Amino acid sequence: MKREFKKRGFFSLFGVVKPLRSLMVWKKTSPKTFKVSLPEGTQSVKVMLLAQFSELSWLHYATFGKYYVGGWAAKKLLFCVKQAYKIGSPDFNVHYLSHEAQHFSDYRSFPKLKSSDLEYRAKLAELALTASPIKFVGKLKREAKRAPQIPHSFAAYKILQGLTNSSSPAEIRKEAVQLLTRHTKTLKQRGANKVESVISES
């Protein structure tokens, strides 16, 4: 199928958007490089901006286009569904770039790390950097679930477990940085090249 899409001038991606298999098909790809400030340092990333989609996976179909994957990280590149963001907006800079750049950094630093911990760290980066942390905590509450087999939901659940009930935006961001720093310290203590998960243990 991939060869057939290519013959007709399309890019395609086959994989899994948990818990189901996924297909994405699009027409246009353009590269752009960004320098991203993360809670634990700066990360330079190359982003492939994807446009003119014909198929946006089962999640888009099941929700009548309301929800769909906005981007993902690979070992050397980031991929962004361009229609999901206004490039340069706070939403793009924090909730896409920071999230995916954290993944990109963690793939190199902690190569064995499981999806649930990767999502935990990326969401903490978002929470630490967003101008609207209270709103983001509300989003975490809506998606949180004690279900290790669903990485995004489990990561949200574990973050909420670690936060206090502070209503101060500055304090929430500070707590996010502290949780991320603590997680990083534990990973390094256990061996950055071999540890698979921390959050699944508690």
**pLDDT reading at 133 higher than 80:** yes
- Dump pLDDT digits (tens) for 36-92: 999 999 999 999 999 999 999 999 999 999 989 998 888 889 999 999 999 999 999
DSSP character at residue 201: G
Looking at the chain, how many residues does it have? Answer: 202
Mean pLDDT of 194-199: 94
Mean pLDDT of all residues in 131-141: 96
Please determine, for residue 172, whether its predicted confidence score (pLDDT) is greater than 70. yes
DSSP class of residue 65 equals T
Q: Which two tokens stand for residue 122?
A: 């990326």
Of 59, 46, 57, 58, nearest in space to 12 by CA = 57
pLDDT(171) > 70: yes
* Nearest to 96, CA basis, from 32, 141, 148: 32
Q: Tell me, what amino acid is at 18?
A: K
Q: Using one digit for the tens of pLDDT, what is the confidence trace for 82-126?
A: 999 999 999 999 999 999 999 999 999 999 999 999 999 999 999
Quote the pLDDT of residue 73: 85
Distance (Å, whole) CA 191 – CA 158: 22
> Residue 94's pLDDT is what?
95
Percent of residues, the chain, with pLDDT higher than 70: 100
**Average pLDDT of the residues in 4-18:** 93
Which residues fall within 8 angstroms of residue 27, CB to CB, at 6 or more apart? 9, 10, 11, 51, 52, 53, 54
Q: What pLDDT is stored for residue 65 in this prediction?
A: 94
Find, among 98, 104, 102, 103, the residue nearest to 85 by Cα: 98
Q: What is residue 144's DSSP assignment?
A: -
pLDDT at 76: 86
Reply yes or no on whether the pLDDT at 202 is more than 80.
Answer: no
Backbone φ, ψ for residue 200 (5° rounding): -75, -10
What's the pTM value of the predicted model, to 2 decimals? 0.86
